[in-house]
Amino acid sequence: MRSTMARAASVFFRSRSVIWTKGSFAAAAIAALLVGREAAAQSMPSEEPPAEASAPAPVETTPPVAPSEPAFPAPTPPAAAVTTAPPTFPFAKRGTILLSIDQALPLFSFGGVPATSQALVSTALGDSTARVLRPVVVDVLLTDRLTFGGSIFVQQTLTDSTLETHIGGGLVRVGGMFPLTSKLAVWPRLAGSYITSTKPEDFAYFQLSVDAKLLYAPRRSWAFSIGPSIDIPFDDRQHFTSGSPDHGVMPVATADNRLVRIGVSAGITGRLGRSGGDDEESADAELEPTLLIGIDRVVPLIRYTASSTKTNADEQTAKNFDVATAQLAAYSPQAPRLSVDYRTPFGLTVGMSGSVGWEKVSMDRRSLFPSPTGMTMVSYALSPRAGYYKSLTKGIAVWPRVGVTYVNSAIERSSGLDGDDDYHLGFDLDAFFVFSPTPGFGLLLGPSLEVPLTGKTEVAQKRAEYSVFSVGLAGGLVVGL
């Protein structure tokens, strides 16, 4: 700016030395105008730079197309981390609580006979006797694999009776849950149990059991189980009596005369709690099962029973009031049985419970199999019924049922004695509540009534009328498909 003004002053003073004429004055005015324009042009950058001094306008360019494969691809997990991921079997989760009845359906067994004071051996097909121990066992998964559980079983008669029962015991077991697929798993277990009885027979023994169950879960709340088992008894105590009129009756104890028993059975295992974030389980909750499979009266909590045997000469009666958590010495009309019912869309149910079995028994202790001269028993039970299944609220339903029960038992002896052929026909009425901790798996609880209609038995090789009346509070288990 200062240089511009200096030049303008120089031009001005030089113009004074010339002769002031009309032409020279015009020239001086033109020179002054040119100097002023030059000064204005040099002072413009502080306000608006000239076009040639402005920054060049940005040029819009199209970004280059990315290559089809990046120069540095994202890292992928190793193949081993994908292939070794365990299947999501619904039970193999830490904290899961399971309830099982492993002997819901005995299939085959041979060896020593449990829950008796006699050293018997037998071979059995199916559910042939009420002396099958069916404890309800609760297991907890301490980890995703390790299970720990147990059960307490007891049956006690609180009244004086010729048929009173005093049996009790318990078991503890450990196992491992090994998933094969999302629906299959293997569950091997080791258990120790103790059982003692004073009536109707006097015995006590400790038993070590090993089994391996294959679980199939058609729904995420429960599973069928099937597999072999072996029971090894120890510390056996049995009491018999011996003596004469001169010396009196003396107790005689025998020990370690039991044999192992090997068998295969089917059962039901269900979950007692939900697992968070299980989408498949949420879908299960929307399903209404149409096929109901269960086992009735497996837990006879409270029961009053009156049995009568009547011949032409006399009549014998026995009245029992029992409390129990398992059925060890069952009355055949009210014995636990497997059941199947069909549920219509309107809630009506039609079904049947029953059992069938064959068993050969002998006193031979030299073999796990009975002798050819042993006693053979064939028994079966059928209980058709109809009912109405009504949901009251989420997880609670009521299921009243009515039907009849027919039980038949035939015994053949090879010793020349006549066989026995007993039967019972009665009217059944149940009013069970169904408590479902998980969708499709329910616990039955409610009153159960058995009214005799007709029956026959044999006493001292003579035919006699036989009847059993029973009423009580019982529990069971049911699953839905």
Per the document, the length of the chain is 481
pLDDT at 84 over 70: no
Per-residue confidence band for 38, with pLDDT thresholds at 50, 70 and 90: low
In a domain, residue 53? The reply is: no
The pair of three-digit structure tokens given for residue 360, joined into one six-digit string = 């050969």
Query: Are 424 and 452 contacting, i.e. CB atoms less than 8 angstroms apart?
Result: yes
In whole angstroms, what is the distance from residue 200 CA to residue 331 CA?
13
pLDDT at 127 over 90: no
pLDDT, residue 160, reads 83
Q: Pick from 113-122, 351-360, 461-470 the range whose average pLDDT is largest.
A: 351-360
In a domain, residue 219? The reply is: yes
Per-residue confidence band for 66, with pLDDT thresholds at 50, 70 and 90: low
Residue 473's alpha-carbon distances to 215, 267, 349, 351, 478, in angstroms, are 31, 23, 22, 21, 17
In a domain, residue 67? The reply is: no
In a domain, residue 85? The reply is: no
Asked whether residue 31 falls in the same domain as residue 130, the answer is no
pLDDT at 456 over 80: yes
Asked whether residue 27 falls in the same domain as residue 164, the answer is no
pLDDT at 239 over 80: no
The pTM assigned to this predicted structure is 0.77
Residue 373's alpha-carbon distances to 109, 369, 416, 425, in angstroms, are 19, 12, 10, 31
**pLDDT tens by residue, 313-332:** 788 888 999 999 987 655 57
pLDDT, residue 181, reads 95
Q: Look at residues 10, 27, 47 and tell me which one is the last residue of a structural domain.
A: 47
The DSSP annotation for 32-87 comes to: HHHHHHHHHHHHGGGTS--GGGSPPPPPP-PPPPPPSS-SSPPP---HHHHHTPPP
In a domain, residue 37? The reply is: yes
Among 145, 82, 163, residue whose Cα is nearest residue 330: 163
pLDDT at 72 over 90: no
pLDDT, residue 143, reads 95
Asked whether residue 125 falls in the same domain as residue 21, the answer is no
In a domain, residue 161? The reply is: yes
pLDDT at 377 over 80: yes
Asked whether residue 404 falls in the same domain as residue 256, the answer is yes
Asked whether residue 315 falls in the same domain as residue 433, the answer is yes
pLDDT at 82 over 90: no
pLDDT, residue 242, reads 45
Share of the chain above pLDDT 70, in %: 70
What's the whole-number mean pLDDT along residues 379-408?
A: 95
Q: Is 137 helix (H, G, I), strand (E, B) or coil?
A: strand
Q: Look at residues 47, 64, 81 and tell me which one is the last residue of a structural domain.
A: 47
Query: Are 154 and 124 contacting, i.e. CB atoms less than 8 angstroms apart?
Result: no
Among 111, 108, 109, residue whose Cα is nearest residue 364: 111
CB atoms within 10 A of CB 172: 14
Q: Which residue has the tokens 């027919």?
A: 406
Amino acid at the residue 167: I
Asked whether residue 215 falls in the same domain as residue 361, the answer is yes
pLDDT, residue 284, reads 55
Asked whether residue 343 falls in the same domain as residue 272, the answer is yes
Q: Which structural domain range is residue 413 located in?
A: 97-480
pLDDT at 141 over 50: yes
**pLDDT tens by residue, 286-316:** 567 799 999 998 999 999 999 888 887 788 8
Share of the chain above pLDDT 90, in %: 47
The pair of three-digit structure tokens given for residue 30, joined into one six-digit string = 């033109």
Amino acid at the residue 261: R
- Left (φ > 0), alpha (ψ -120 to 50) or beta: where does 426 sit? beta
Asked whether residue 334 falls in the same domain as residue 422, the answer is yes
Query: Are 102 and 265 contacting, i.e. CB atoms less than 8 angstroms apart?
Result: yes
The partner residues of 190 in beta bridges, in order of sequence, read 174, 210
Per-residue confidence band for 277, with pLDDT thresholds at 50, 70 and 90: very low
pLDDT, residue 331, reads 59
In a domain, residue 88? The reply is: no
Per-residue confidence band for 65, with pLDDT thresholds at 50, 70 and 90: low
CB atoms within 10 A of CB 186: 15
pLDDT at 208 over 60: yes
Asked whether residue 14 falls in the same domain as residue 159, the answer is no
CB atoms within 10 A of CB 459: 15
Name the pairing type of β-strands 222-244 and 178-179.
Answer: unpaired
Count of domains observed in the chain: 2
- Averaged confidence pLDDT in the chain: 80
Asked whether residue 119 falls in the same domain as residue 22, the answer is no
Query: Are 415 and 372 contacting, i.e. CB atoms less than 8 angstroms apart?
Result: no
| Element holding 12 (H helix, E strand) | helix 2-16
pLDDT at 178 over 80: yes
Buried b (16+ CB within 10 A) or exposed e, 188-202: ebebebebebeeebb
Asked whether residue 138 falls in the same domain as residue 32, the answer is no
In a domain, residue 60? The reply is: no
Asked whether residue 330 falls in the same domain as residue 424, the answer is yes
